[in-house]
Amino acid sequence: MRLLHTSDWHLGRSFHRENLIDAQAAFVDHLVDTVRAEAVDVVVVSGDLYDRALPPVEAVRLFGEALRRIRATGARAVLIAGNHDSMARLAYAADLIDASGVHVRAALEQVGTPVVVEDRHGPVAFYGIPYLEPEIARPHWGLAGRGHPAVLGHAMDLVRADLAARPAGTRSVVLSHAFVTGGAPSDSERDIAVGGAAHVPVSLYAGVDYVALGHLHGRQTMAGSVRYSGSPLAYSFSEEHHVKGSWLVELDASGFVGAHFVEAPVPRPLARLRGRLEDLLSGPEWERYTGHWLQVTLTDPLRPALPMDRLRERFPHTLVLDFAPEGGRAEEDRAWARRTADRSEPELVLDFVDWARGAPATDEERRLVRAAFEDIRHREAAR
């Protein structure tokens, strides 16, 4: 049997206000082409199908189109809810949708009850473990232990108990949305530390043939058959060096055989640049970044005028601008109360301009600030 393991689609997400729906649609095209070209039997999606519990309409449409196209290839699909998804909404009509060959597992009641798919070697049991919020799952199962290890450990006990009752030779795949100890996070995952310990040991997954993990956005292998596929697109600049895609997994009669990574298309590469503004604008070594999405940190001792406008003349896809002057900023040794004593409102605003930019306001800026406060005083007096 051939599986395609993917996760963390985050349909409906933007990237620093850049709409990613077209890039996500291009990934769906790539996914369907891969399923067809590689004769994939089952597509497994390990959570965070959407970016939020109430996704935008265009994201819902793309999700529906993706499932329809996957089924049109003849492959089945098994999906779980992640911490960004609404379990209740994804679980709606799941038993009816099962009949179509699309199996969504988003309810605690379904943990330990597999989707069984047959191949020429016999049955493969797919166990979906959606993201388990400890303070919801713990009382549901009447557990004494707290935190993610307790609830996920119980979920895996349910899986192993069911698997032990099945015919000999039944192979097993677990889909799980969790933070496994030792995994490398990025800046775009939502923190799941609420409700106790966030990390779970990889040893919890012992006893099954393959574990398709979701939550962390970089591909990584936690053990030979326990893997994160990562997100199909980069959702933060911390992912600039990630290679995105899906794991193509092989199972034979004895279980897991191996996996190789199928790279996904890159809509636009990412980079983080650092330097003085004039160097970035004139240096030939930066020319290769003109088509990238950029996070730029300027190191000029004084904040340049109109830096974003000037950067976008050469780098039109600059999205984030930071300022870190070389040598840092001299430490203020006066308390805030002393610094602001006997200062008028316009003077405080101009002080802020001086602090934020590293250079005093111009005469024209001073005139505009004072005119604005004069206008405010006239309006207050007229009330």
Residue 296 and residue 320 in contact, taking contact as beta carbons nearer than 8 Å: yes
Which CATH number belongs to the domain containing residue 286 in this structure? Answer: 3.30.160
Check residue 125 and give its pLDDT. Answer: 98
Residue 19 and residue 59 in contact, taking contact as beta carbons nearer than 8 Å: no
Residue 222 and residue 183 in contact, taking contact as beta carbons nearer than 8 Å: yes
**323 and 342, same domain (yes or no):** no
**51 and 30, same domain (yes or no):** yes
**121 and 156, same domain (yes or no):** yes
Give the count of beta carbons closer than 10 Å to the beta carbon of residue 279: 14
Dist CA 172 CA 255 (whole Å)? 8
**278 and 180, same domain (yes or no):** no
Q: Which amino acid is at 365?
A: E
**276 and 376, same domain (yes or no):** no
**283 and 357, same domain (yes or no):** no
Domain span including residue 257 = 2-263
**371 and 234, same domain (yes or no):** no
Dist CA 358 CA 167 (whole Å)? 73
**278 and 248, same domain (yes or no):** no
β-sheet with 293-298: strand ranges across:
270-275, 293-298, 318-323
* Structure token digits, residue 7: 């996760």
Q: From residue 183, how far is each of 26, 187, 370 by CA, in Å?
A: 28, 13, 54
Burial degree of 347 (CB within 10 A; 0-12, 13-18, 19+): middle
DSSP H or E stretch at residue 122: strand 122-129
**In whole angstroms, how large is the CA radius of gyration of the chain?**
27
**173 and 300, same domain (yes or no):** no
Check residue 381 and give its pLDDT. Answer: 63
Which single residue is written with the structure tokens 């930071």?
322
Residue 6 and residue 212 in contact, taking contact as beta carbons nearer than 8 Å: no
Dist CA 141 CA 138 (whole Å)? 5
Check residue 151 and give its pLDDT. Answer: 96
Of 233, 263, 293, which residue sits at a domain end?
A: 263
DSSP H or E stretch at residue 52: none
Of 290, 311, 329, which residue sits at a domain end?
A: 329
Check residue 330 and give its pLDDT. Answer: 44
Residues β-bridged to residue 261: 247
- Alpha helix locations (H) across the chain? 21-37, 57-72, 87-91, 94-98, 134-141, 148-164, 277-282, 307-314, 336-340, 345-357, 363-382
Give the residue from 155, 82, 165, 156 showing the smallest Cα distance to 116: 165
Give exposure, 129-147, as e/b (b: 16+ Cβ within 10 Å): bbbbbbeebbeeeeeeeeb
Q: Which residues contact 281 (CB under 8 A, 6 or more apart)?
A: 310, 311, 313, 314
Dist CA 29 CA 232 (whole Å)? 12
**47 and 162, same domain (yes or no):** yes
**337 and 242, same domain (yes or no):** no
Dist CA 206 CA 221 (whole Å)? 15
Which CATH number belongs to the domain containing residue 124 in this structure? Answer: 3.60.21.10
Dmax (CA) of the chain: 87
Dist CA 171 CA 163 (whole Å)? 9
Of 263, 288, 306, which residue sits at a domain end?
A: 263
**197 and 255, same domain (yes or no):** yes
Number of domains composing the chain: 3
Give the count of beta carbons closer than 10 Å to the beta carbon of residue 16: 13
Q: What is the pLDDT along the chain (383 residues), one digit of tens a residue?
A: 999 999 999 999 999 999 999 999 999 999 999 999 999 999 999 999 999 999 999 999 999 999 999 999 999 999 999 999 999 999 999 999 999 999 999 999 999 999 999 999 999 999 999 999 999 999 999 999 889 999 999 999 999 999 999 999 999 999 999 999 999 999 888 877 644 457 999 999 999 999 999 999 999 999 999 999 999 999 999 999 999 999 999 999 999 999 999 999 999 999 999 999 999 999 999 999 999 999 999 999 998 989 999 999 999 999 999 999 987 654 444 455 566 666 778 888 888 887 777 778 898 988 998 888 878 877 766 66
